[in-house]
Amino acid sequence: MNIFREETEQGNIDVTDSTILVVDDEPEILNIVVNGFSRFGFKMVTALNGEDALEIVAKDKIDLILLDIMMPGINGFDVLKKIRDNKQTWHIPVIMVTALNAPNDRIRGIEAGCHDFISKPFILEELLAKTRFLLKIKFLYEQLERSYEKLKSLEIMKDNLTHMVIHDLKNPLNTILLGLEFLQKRFQSKLAPEEKISLAVALRACYELKAIMDDLLDINKMEAGKIKLRLEKFDLAVLITEVIEQMKVIIVDSSKVLSSQIDKKMPEICADRKIIKRVIANIVNNAVKFTPSNGTILIKASFDKASNNFCVQIKDSGEGIPEEYLETIFDKFVQLNNNKFNVGHGLGLNFCKLMVEAHGGNIRVESKPGKGSNFIFTLPA
């Protein structure tokens, strides 16, 4: 669907259906303008002073205002200011029709938010031309606004649909996962090596699928400002051991060595345990994916008293990341050419960044092509 197609081409915009408010304390001027403009089909409304003008603008749909400056009561500058200060009327184009010609008055008018000036006595055709021009701009602005609103609602529809699909997929996936985990626990010792590998590959695929779904749901929630962290105290060392155990079960290539170096004197951390576990699992999962056979992956964790920060590092001996990607790699959907098998969707690191930052921490990567990568994130105590 082309949401921009419905509207007229710019050159053919017909603005004669517009309603124009003329404000002037001289009835003769009102007559000249109303007669001149009505001939072309414009709907004309008039006011003899600023107070009436503001009342009309508040209740009727006005497309453009021709505004006198010197009037008894509220003058044109103040009327304009009130129109600009009001959320309902700030966008209405205003042409000031004035006997004042000094540059200072024009500057004052522009500062108050008028779009154009015309001096009295004016040539009607010139006023008509200026009016048509501003009405066309207003029409295009409104068209842009409508397109933007449509885009926003399409975006919301798309997000809702994504949510629904993911929710519907999660239940059957969990059932498959439970079945595979059961088979692995029950029969692992009896399986032939190639059967063990098949099971590990199937389990890994399920975990990856589940992680992608969870990441996508959480990123959406975080972007909509709807995610709430469930903070609790826990031992980071235990959590890292759990991630390693979980990964070991699904690492198919046993030549990759996954180890940890954890500071023994770390205090308990207060964070969302499930989320931090998924942050670490995401980075370790990448390290495993992008490290060739015989590579090493080391998880380090420490606590720095001076800064009161926990620091977790996941260092791999993989192919590394080019300098130009070191920051953008944390953006949604960014993937490098090293992703030979086109695995995943470039969501994992975006999830990690959003979640670490939601905890008040930060995340970065140090890497050089051919020299491995070191993902480092900190979390406040």
Chain contacts with ligand ATP (rule: CB under 6 A): 212, 282, 286-287, 290, 316, 318-319, 321, 329, 334-336, 338-339, 344-350, 373
Cβ proximity to Mg ion: between 93 and 344 the closer is 344
Query: Residue 213 Cβ, how far from ligand ATP at the closest point, in Å?
Result: 10
Name the residue with the smallest CB distance to ligand ATP: 344
Query: Residue 219 Cβ, how far from Mg ion at the closest point, in Å?
Result: 13
The amino acid at residue 108 is: R
Cβ proximity to ligand ATP: between 105 and 316 the closer is 316
Cβ proximity to ligand ATP: between 272 and 316 the closer is 316
Q: Residue 222 burial by CB count (10 A; 0-12/13-18/19+): exposed, middle or buried?
A: middle
Residue 56 and residue 45 in contact, taking contact as beta carbons nearer than 8 Å = yes
The half-sphere exposure of 305 on its side-chain side, counting CA atoms within 13 A, is 3
Cβ proximity to Mg ion: between 62 and 281 the closer is 281
Partner from ligand ATP, Mg ion, none contacting 339, C-beta within 5 to 8 A by type:
ligand ATP
Which two tokens mark 145?
Answer: 């606004």
Query: Residue 165 Cβ, how far from ligand ATP at the closest point, in Å?
Result: 16
Query: Residue 252 Cβ, how far from Mg ion at the closest point, in Å?
Result: 16
Cβ proximity to Mg ion: between 286 and 291 the closer is 286
Lateral strand order in the sheet of 373-380: 257-262, 296-304, 309-316, 373-380, 362-367
Query: Residue 159 Cβ, how far from ligand ATP at the closest point, in Å?
Result: 17
Query: Residue 251 Cβ, how far from Mg ion at the closest point, in Å?
Result: 15
Residue 284 and residue 305 in contact, taking contact as beta carbons nearer than 8 Å = no
Query: Residue 156 Cβ, how far from ligand ATP at the closest point, in Å?
Result: 23
Q: Which residues contact 190 (CB under 8 A, 6 or more apart)?
A: none
Cβ proximity to ligand ATP: between 95 and 347 the closer is 347
Partner from Mg ion, ligand ATP, none contacting 287, C-beta within 5 to 8 A by type:
ligand ATP
Q: Return residues touching Mg ion (CB under 5 A).
A: 286, 344, 348
Cβ proximity to ligand ATP: between 109 and 318 the closer is 318
Cβ proximity to Mg ion: between 115 and 315 the closer is 315
Cβ proximity to ligand ATP: between 139 and 377 the closer is 377
Q: Which residues contact 375 (CB under 8 A, 6 or more apart)?
A: 283, 286, 287, 313, 314, 315, 363, 364, 365
**Length of the chain in residues, anyone?**
381
Provide the β-strand partners of residue 365.
Answer: 375
Tell me the C-alpha distance between 86 and 113, whole Å.
12
Query: Residue 325 Cβ, how far from ligand ATP at the closest point, in Å?
Result: 7
Tell me the C-alpha distance between 280 and 286, whole Å.
10
Q: Which helix (H) or strand (E) holds 337?
A: none
Tell me the C-alpha distance between 67 and 208, whole Å.
65
Partner from ligand ATP, Mg ion, none contacting 318, C-beta within 5 to 8 A by type:
ligand ATP
Q: Which of 365, 241, 259, 263 is nearest to 310 (CA)?
A: 263
Omega before residue 121 within 30° of 0, cis: yes
Partner from Mg ion, ligand ATP, none contacting 290, C-beta within 5 to 8 A by type:
ligand ATP
Tell me the C-alpha distance between 113 and 62, whole Å.
17
Residue 78 and residue 108 in contact, taking contact as beta carbons nearer than 8 Å = no
Query: Residue 347 Cβ, how far from ligand ATP at the closest point, in Å?
Result: 4
